Structures are given as C-alpha cells and as structure tokens.
Amino acid sequence: MRPLLLTLCCLLTYPALAQVAKPRVFKVNSASAFNKLMSGLDDDQLFRTYRADLKLIRVTRNRHEPGVRDSLLQVKTPADKLVLFKNRYKTLLRGATITSTRVSFAGLRVGATQDAFCRTMHLKPGYDQYVFADGMENFVQLTFTFSSGKLRRVEYEELINMDAID
C-alpha cells in the first residue's frame, strides 16, 4: 500500500512542479503615466510612420456625418501589428502589438533595459509585465512585456468596444 501511495503522490506532484510560472504583473492606473507613455504613439505620427505598410480593411459611412467615409486600416510587418481608424478629420489607434524599434514610449524603445524603464517611470523593478490603464475610465491599456531584462513587446488594446460608445 505504501509504494502505491508514494507512486501516486509522485505522479500528482510532477505535473504541478513542471508548470510554467505565471508572469509577475504590476498594474498602474494613472492617467499621467499613461499619457507620458502614449506620447510616442501619436495617431497621426503612426499613420505617417507606417504609411507604406498600411492595408485597407474596411470603408464605412460615418453614422453622424453621412458625407464622411471612415476607414479601418491595418499594418502587418514582421515585427509590428497595428489597427488604425481614419477619416478626413482624425486618425485613431485601435490596437497595436509592437516589437520593433520604430516607436518610442517616454523616450524608450523596444530593447531598452528594464532598469531604464523603471527609472523613467519611477516603478519598482522585478516584474515581467507592466500594465498601464488610462486612468479612471479604463477604456484602453498599454502592456509592456520584459524578458531577460529587456523590453520585448508593447501592446495597446481597447478594454471596451469603442464602436458602442456614441
């Protein structure tokens, strides 16, 4: 009976020990920190930076001004993926995953050290991901992912459906 219990215990504990550790996440809900990081993600600047890589996804009529056309554009490069909303008045970022050095965030680019990022943003080091929400509204968030002490990926995502807001 004892060897059977020992075998059963070993079989149950091995998968538990072999699981991958979850990334440590630090969440910041600060409009000023979010805006500081978003300075490099200016919508019109992104449109100019990725102009050669833009692909049209969809064109729709603006529901408030029928004479205006709204376009949904996509950028897919080997390193970056972006979705932009554009009409004749404004360009808006709808989503992004950036792994290249084409865009800066508070003066830092992908590949920056985690220590430099934490010094710039006045944060505690030692986390795998830093998530910044846009303040009290929590409409969008920026996620900075670190690996081996370097910034590897930045994600911009909408937390609510912006098309549903009127």
User: pLDDT tens, 24-53?
Assistant: 999 988 888 888 988 878 888 888 888 888
Q: Report d(CA 123, CA 26) in Å as an integer.
A: 9
Cβ atoms of 129 and 26 closer than 8 Å: yes
Question: At a CB cut-off of 8 Å and minimum separation 6, what does 137 contact?
Answer: none
- What are the tokens at 83? 């979705």
Residue 133 lies in a domain: yes
Assess if residue 2 is contained within a domain. no
- How far is residue 68's CA from residue 90's CA, in Å, rounded to a whole number? 11
Residue 40 is assigned to a structural domain of this protein: yes
Around Cβ 162, how many Cβ atoms within 10 Å?
12
Segment 67-105, tens digit of pLDDT: 888 888 899 999 999 998 888 888 888 899 999 999 998
Q: What is the pTM of this model?
A: 0.78
Q: How many residues does the chain have?
A: 166
Residue 8 lies in a domain: no
Could you tell me if residue 16 is inside a domain? no
34: containing domain: 21-160
- Number of domains comprising the chain: 1
